Chains A and B, each alone.
Chain A
Amino acid sequence: MERVAVVGIGQTKYEKGKTKNFAELSYEATRKALDDAGIELSDIDNVVTTTNDFFDGRTIACMAVAEAAGSYGRDATNVEGDGTLSAFYGLMRTLSGVYGTTMVSAHCKVSEGSPRKIVNQAFDPIYDRLLGMDAISSSALQARAYMQRFGITEEQCARVSVKNHGNARNNPYAHVPLDITVDDVMRSPMLAEPIKRLDTSPISDGACAIILATEERARRAARKPVWIRGVAHCADAYRLGERDLAWSQPLETAARKAYRMAGISHPSREIDVAEVYDAFSYMELMWYEGLGFCDRGEGGRLIDSGVTQMGGKLPVNPSGGVLSAHSVQVAGLARIAEAVLQLRGEAGKRQVPGARVALAHGTGGICAQTHCVWVLSN
């Protein structure tokens, strides 16, 4: 693959009930990304936005938001999915030879709609939807299947929540920084066995943007480029009943492909920091396994060992992860933005010292039907 770099990033703070409207949020992130890259909109060749019509409450929401992301007078397109997939699309456009730079943006105002109803409406309308499935109940079924298969305990899941909410205290963009213990998580209200309130991610509004550039155009940007080394995307079956809920083969497939592109043969040794899509605490443990940070079924032991904490050999979610800020389709793009900050050495109090190789991971669909894995380096 020809070299493509991330040359600029911008994020809003993630919080509930933001008073800016969705175009104002998107503009804030894209403006910040341009300023970060030290370039102007005239330097942007094309734009990829990320929208979800249900969350925005309007049809073809991409049409309404694109201008705030810089679309006027240039080619603009949209992804309805996670921001990691929009970035993947932006990468392909950059690699096409037609565009030297690509603005990738994502916004979401989860707090304005009815998120549980919206997730319920992602299920098959003539079957699963009518049984009242939503993100929490479907994830509880997945958590049960995973924990049962591999003997993962609720305390091990709780440790992810303690770690990530604790890390969020070092991230000025995070929505829910918390100083909590495993007992606090265990005693938080039971929502759907075995998932408790503090095992879940918050309802967050926010926006994120990144700018991709070819090697030639990256030289003109103000920032030290962060290079994209490997990317892959893979999908599971739509219906939960047709998946192996306890093990994500598509994640392993995507990770292996991305590692092959990046020339990584021992991910746990060669990756310095990872930002993964932990919408629920148990998911981070499952993703450790799929990403090859440990063997299958060993996710619980990995969190117990401290390897993934700040100061460990492979810190996961120094930003606080999705558990600490979940602006749905923005959340994957924020993982890439955080990986870029780590590789520039600009992650402030959440910096992993000397990080050279970073992984960013996004998911799409119910119980992570799709996975997108990014490997970046400085």
Chain B
Amino acid sequence: MKDQAANRQDELLEISSGKAEHVYYWHCGHYISPFFMGLRDKKTILGIRCSHCGRVYVPPREVCGRCFKTMHDWVDLGSEGSIYAFTVVKLPYIDPNTGKPIKVPRTDIYVKLDGADTCLMHWLDESDETKITVGARVRAVFKEQRRGTIHDIECFTQI
């Protein structure tokens, strides 16, 4: 009996959370929807200006966090800008869109679009870090088939 109890103590069990998923359906809202429509229908990137402080936000949103004012002044930022920061990711990772492994290296960049005060996150089609510099000029490459998501921009490319 004593030995059986000791055996039970030695066994520390694990249990898995199972395969059930939690699926959400997020509304993009009244500011990101026009932003995605701009990508899908006009191949352009929309920002929004705070009429109080003058900052141009991209992606656009309702409230300027600094002034706490509603923004109304839409700005067409086109598709060009310069690199603010970049990293070449070499660690394999799971694509959140598919749950499947995605290939690396992959280059993440922050782009300061011309006319914007904030940076837009995306990818660059260059994975040799010696060929990338902060400040380099880049342009958005749009997909042929666009669905109104951030993936309507394939990536950015150096001009």
Contacts of B26 in A (CB 8 A): 125-126
A136 to B89, CA, bound (A): 9
A195 to B106, CA, bound (A): 14
Contacts of B67 in A (CB 8 A): none
- Residue A130 CB within 8 A of the other chain: yes
A144 to B85, CA, bound (A): 6
Contact-size category for B: 35 or more
Contact-size category for A: 35 or more
- Residue A253 CB within 8 A of the other chain: no
Interface string of B16-37 (1 = CB under 8 A from A): 0100000010101000100000
Are B110 and A141 in touch, CB under 8 angstroms? yes
Query: In the complex, how many angstroms separate the beta carbon of B55 from the nearest chain A beta carbon?
Result: 9
List CB contacts (< 8 Å) of A170-209 with chain B.
189-195
- Residue B139 CB within 8 A of the other chain: no
- Count A-B contacts at CB 8 Å: 104
Are A141 and B108 in touch, CB under 8 angstroms? yes
In this complex, the member of A120, A144, A190, A194 whose beta carbon has the largest number of chain B beta carbons within 10 angstroms is A144
Query: In the complex, how many angstroms separate the beta carbon of B38 from the nearest chain A beta carbon?
Result: 14
A120 to B119, CA, bound (A): 19
Are A240 and B86 in touch, CB under 8 angstroms? no
- Residue A49 CB within 8 A of the other chain: no
- Residue A140 CB within 8 A of the other chain: yes
Contacts of B95 in A (CB 8 A): 132
- Residue A264 CB within 8 A of the other chain: no
A259 to B109, CA, bound (A): 36
| Contact (A129, B121) CB under 8 Å given A137-B89, A192-B91, A193-B129 | no
A142 to B102, CA, bound (A): 23
- Residue B74 CB within 8 A of the other chain: no
Contacts of B120 in A (CB 8 A): 241
In this complex, the member of B12, B17, B90, B122 whose beta carbon has the largest number of chain A beta carbons within 10 angstroms is B90
Interface string of B90-111 (1 = CB under 8 A from A): 1101111100001000101110
Are B17 and A57 in touch, CB under 8 angstroms? yes
A143 to B87, CA, bound (A): 9
- Residue A237 CB within 8 A of the other chain: yes
Are A140 and B87 in touch, CB under 8 angstroms? yes
Are A140 and B119 in touch, CB under 8 angstroms? no
- Residue A148 CB within 8 A of the other chain: yes
Q: Nearest A residue to B57 by beta-carbon distance?
A: A242
Which A residues lie at the B interface, using CB under 8 A?
19, 57, 116-117, 120-121, 125-134, 136-137, 140-145, 148, 189-195, 237-242, 245
Beyond the given A148-B134, A189-B90, please list 8 additional residue pairs across the A-B interface where CB-CB is below 8 A.
A117-B96, A131-B121, A133-B108, A137-B89, A193-B87, A193-B129, A241-B120, A245-B84
Sampled A-B contacts (26; CB under 8 Å): A116-B93, A117-B94, A126-B32, A127-B59, A127-B121, A128-B121, A130-B150, A131-B108, A131-B122, A131-B123, A132-B93, A133-B108, A136-B91, A137-B108, A141-B86, A141-B109, A191-B91, A192-B90, A192-B108, A239-B118, A240-B119, A240-B121, A241-B110, A241-B118, A242-B119, A245-B85
Which B residues lie at the A interface, using CB under 8 A?
12, 17, 24, 26, 28, 32, 57-59, 65, 84-91, 93-97, 102, 106, 108-110, 118-123, 129, 134, 149-151
